[in-house]
């Protein structure tokens, strides 16, 4: 059983001891204003506390040796001073905060062999044994990555990014239903498979704190916590425009805060995920209780995205007070899945977001993403609310595309204003779309639509 899911007996014990706690862990109370539920989520999200001990990384042969020494002493802060340092993969350990000082630049080797042996990881929503992420932790508690310094993955057209041309066969093998029936320890990829490692990946960790760092030139997804609880990403600065360069992708995580960060990326700025296809249903852990606030989204496919690897579902997602503006940013709020991926996506809330321009629709729900309706697991998207969101320029205000037998349901827009909208809404198989005081190109709309 996943450590993130209490047993039935544990659920009953929680309900008897504190009825409100059970509801807030995954099912917020039915208040008039769903945003009232964020207080309970934020009360559980706290910064880890590290021992008051500093270890100078330059006194050891490698950053990993410094982390090991700090961990053996009981924990503390490993400090990387100003200067340029080249390293292979870094392994974070419990009660250790890796701190990059002002002027510190940690560059990662471009030799794939340095990221061996294989580790237990995820690639695009599927568990496997693959190259180590650049910064990795497995089953650790109270881990930190902080400071004003820079992490440079040194990825470019000749290193890592060019692997996209050779990875198709491995990606097909990885997502084959037969692979989902194999033990993860037998899913050996790595050399010759061309599946790029992620940049930062805490896997099955508790109390993860990432603050202040600058990230450049990632092989693919930049910050990718998996099956982790109590995750804080604060004040990071991400500029990386390679293929699949998503900024922050919490996957099957619970209680996550992402705030005051800059995303200027080659793919989705923030993408919430929960596993892909049969393997995602095998693990079956949603991404839930996520708060995104006060962030800036520039280039990217979606500002706040849910999917497409969303087979375990998503719920209780709150995004507020963000700024999005770029002709190269496609969509502000993006939900993408299909009947191969499936998943239940519900209780998604966005408010007070200011958009200069996006190149496509402001809000998109797409059941036709990639494979389309070719599977046996129709997705569910319901209870989505967009409140006080303004946009100065877009192709469409809305693009909502469900299935006739599984429509997109219960989407609400309240107090929004969308100017310079070039084309009408795209609405296919939508039930109970409610517009309340929504202004599009100067026309106020108050209506309920099902079509």
**CB under 8 Å to 130, separation ≥6 — which residues?**
118, 119, 121, 123, 189, 190, 193, 195, 197
Reference 52, options 100, 90, 95, 104; nearest CA is 95
Q: Is the separation of the CB atoms in 251 and 275 below 8 Å?
A: yes
- CA 357, CA 366: separation in Å to the nearest integer? 20
- CB atoms closer than 10 angstroms to residue 301: 21
Residue with tokens 């507020």: 320
Nearest to 363 by CA among 335, 327, 321: 335
Catalytic residue among 152, 246, 264, 267: 267
124 within 8 A of 310, measured Cβ to Cβ: no
Among this protein's residues, is 301 annotated catalytic? yes
| DSSP code, position 223 | B
Choose, from 142, 279, 301, 366, the residue flagged as catalytic: 301
**What span, in angstroms and rounded, lies between the C-alpha atoms of 280 and 312?**
6
How far, in Å, CA of 345 to CA of 348, rounded? 8
Quote the DSSP letter at residue 118: P
* Residue 224 among the catalytic residues: no
List, by residue number, the catalytic residues. Answer: 267, 301
């Amino acid at each position: 059983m996943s450590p993130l899911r209490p047993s039935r007996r544990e659920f009953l014990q929680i309900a008897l001891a504190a009825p409100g706690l059970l509801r807030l862990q995954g099912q917020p109370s039915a208040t008039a204003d769903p945003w009232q539920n964020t207080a309970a989520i934020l009360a559980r999200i706290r910064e880890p506390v590290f021992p008051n001990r500093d270890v100078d990384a330059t006194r050891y042969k490698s950053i990993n040796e410094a982390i090991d020494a700090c961990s053996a002493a009981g924990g503390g802060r490993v400090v990387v001073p100003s200067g340029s340092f080249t390293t292979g993969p870094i392994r974070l350990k419990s009660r250790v905060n890796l701190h990059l000082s002002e002027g510190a630049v940690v560059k990662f080797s471009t030799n794939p062999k340095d990221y061996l042996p294989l580790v237990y990881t995820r690639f695009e929503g599927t568990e496997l044994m693959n190259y180590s992420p650049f910064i990795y932790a497995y089953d650790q508690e109270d881990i930190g990555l902080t400071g004003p310094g820079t992490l440079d993955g040194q990825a470019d057209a000749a290193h890592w990014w060019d692997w996209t041309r050779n990875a198709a066969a491995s990606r097909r093998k990885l997502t084959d239903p037969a692979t989902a029936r194999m033990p993860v320890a037998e899913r050996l990829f790595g050399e010759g498979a061309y599946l790029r490692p992620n940049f930062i990946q805490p896997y099955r960790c508790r109390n993860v704190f990432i603050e202040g760092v600058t990230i450049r030139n990632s092989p693919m997804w930049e910050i990718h916590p998996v099956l982790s609880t109590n995750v804080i990403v604060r004040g990071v600065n991400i500029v990386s425009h390679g293929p699949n360069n998503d900024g922050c992708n919490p996957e099957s995580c619970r209680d996550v805060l992402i705030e005051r960060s800059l995303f200027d990326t080659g793919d989705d700025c923030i993408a919430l995920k929960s596993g892909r296809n049969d393997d995602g249903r095998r693990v079956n852990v949603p991404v839930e209780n996520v708060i995104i606030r006060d962030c800036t989204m520039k280039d990217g496919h979606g500002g706040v995205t849910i999917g497409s690897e969303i087979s375990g579902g998503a719920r209780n997602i709150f995004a507020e007070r963000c700024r999005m503006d770029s002709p190269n940013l496609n969509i502000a709020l993006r939900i993408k899945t299909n009947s191969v991926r499936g998943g239940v996506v519900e209780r998604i809330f966005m408010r007070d977001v200011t958009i200069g321009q996006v190149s496509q629709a402001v809000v998109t729900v797409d059941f036709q993403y990639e494979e389309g309706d070719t599977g046996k697991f129709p997705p569910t998207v319901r209870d989505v609310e967009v409140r006080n969101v303004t946009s100065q320029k877009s192709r469409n205000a809305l693009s909502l595309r469900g299935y006739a037998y599984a429509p997109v349901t219960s989407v609400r827009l309240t107090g929004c204003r969308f100017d310079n909208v070039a084309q009408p809404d795209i609405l296919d198989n939508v039930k109970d779309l409610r517009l309340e005081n929504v202004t599009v190109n100067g026309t106020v709309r108050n209506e309920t639509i099902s079509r």
